[in-house]
Amino acid sequence: MPHHRLALCGKDFINWFERYTKRTLKEFRMFSHKDKILVAVSGGKDSLALWYLLCKLGYRADALHINLGIGEYSEKSLQKSRDLSLRLKAELFVVDLSKELAGIPELQEKTVREACSICGLVKRYNFNKFAREKGYSVVATGHNLDDETSSLLSNVLNWNLKYLGRKSPVLEEEKGFVKKVKPFCKFTEKETALYALLNGIDFIEEECPFSKDASTVFYKELLNRIEEKFPGTKLRFYLEYIRKILPKFNQTDTTDLKKCKICGEPSPTDVCSFCRLKEITVR
């Protein structure tokens, strides 16, 4: 790990990974042992490793999986999440999008929005609604350093200030939104994959067939090439953003937030985007 000036064996890597996570949890005041945590698990390496580690560290952590109805890919994702639930003896809740509304393939056909954008919307909506209704104080996701820096780069290149103000590892609870945290934000994809492998966590390796939009994949590759030449760039890009740029935004600017007229979830418009999606699909 040139960016940390470290080279470790498997056992030491696990120790290092766990200590580093604890430090991140503390540094950003993510949660305490009193919190009821809901881990959003996709069946992938990051979120399953996160759930595993939080349980190992003695946190009260249940999980939520959204079954997106994407054929075999979704079936496998659910199965991997179920397998870990059995191993951890921890509760896994499942929201079935096909029953609640319609699967992603169907939703995509009925709207002009891209599959990834619809998927992001239904996930965010369900994480928040489920957590609040069931009394969870924090939602934890498995976003890693590669996820965060690629989206940061894309938002910088487009000067998308709205998103640049919200790329924080912690979003505090506000006006109907449950607190959101990303405890793995400082780990690269390789590091979380290695931690999962070393702990015998079976995860889904395939990419979603709709896959991430091509630009995200391209930005990740680009950042990896820069990282190879200048180790430490990714971590610095992210940490300096948190230290220097994020504080310049007024994060508590939620003056425009109302309650959706239909479902009561927080929304900047009278009817939230999830309910609008619902209206289109039942038509």
Residue 260 interacts with Zn ion (CB under 5 A)? yes
Residue 108 interacts with ligand AMP (CB under 6 A)? no
Token reading at 219: 């930005």
CA distance 3 to 231: 5
Cα→Cα distances 263→178, 270, 280, Å: 16, 10, 16
Which positions ≥6 away from 139 have C-beta within 8 Å? 37, 38, 39, 40, 127, 128, 131, 178, 179, 180, 181
CA distance 17 to 55: 15
Pick what 54 binds: ligand AMP, Zn ion, none; C-beta below 5 to 8 Å, kind-dependent: none
> By C-alpha distance, which of 162, 179, 169 is closest to 250?
162
Pick what 142 binds: ligand AMP, Zn ion, none; C-beta below 5 to 8 Å, kind-dependent: ligand AMP
CA distance 239 to 151: 14
| Contact mark string toward ligand AMP, 131..170, x via CB under 6 A | ----------xxx---x-----------------------
Q: Are 110 and 103 in contact (CB under 8 A)?
A: no
Q: Quote the least distance from Cβ 172 to Zn ion, whole Å.
A: 22
Closer residue to Zn ion in complex, CB, 35/265: 265
Span from 9-17, 62-70, 219-227, 255-263 in contact with ligand AMP (CB under 6 A):
62-70
Span from 63-71, 164-172, 185-193, 226-234 in contact with ligand AMP (CB under 6 A):
63-71
Residue 68 interacts with ligand AMP (CB under 6 A)? yes
Residues 3 to 42 in contact with ligand AMP, rule: CB under 6 A:
40-42
Q: Which residues of this chain interact with ligand AMP, rule CB under 6 A?
A: 40-42, 46-47, 64-66, 68, 123, 141-143, 147
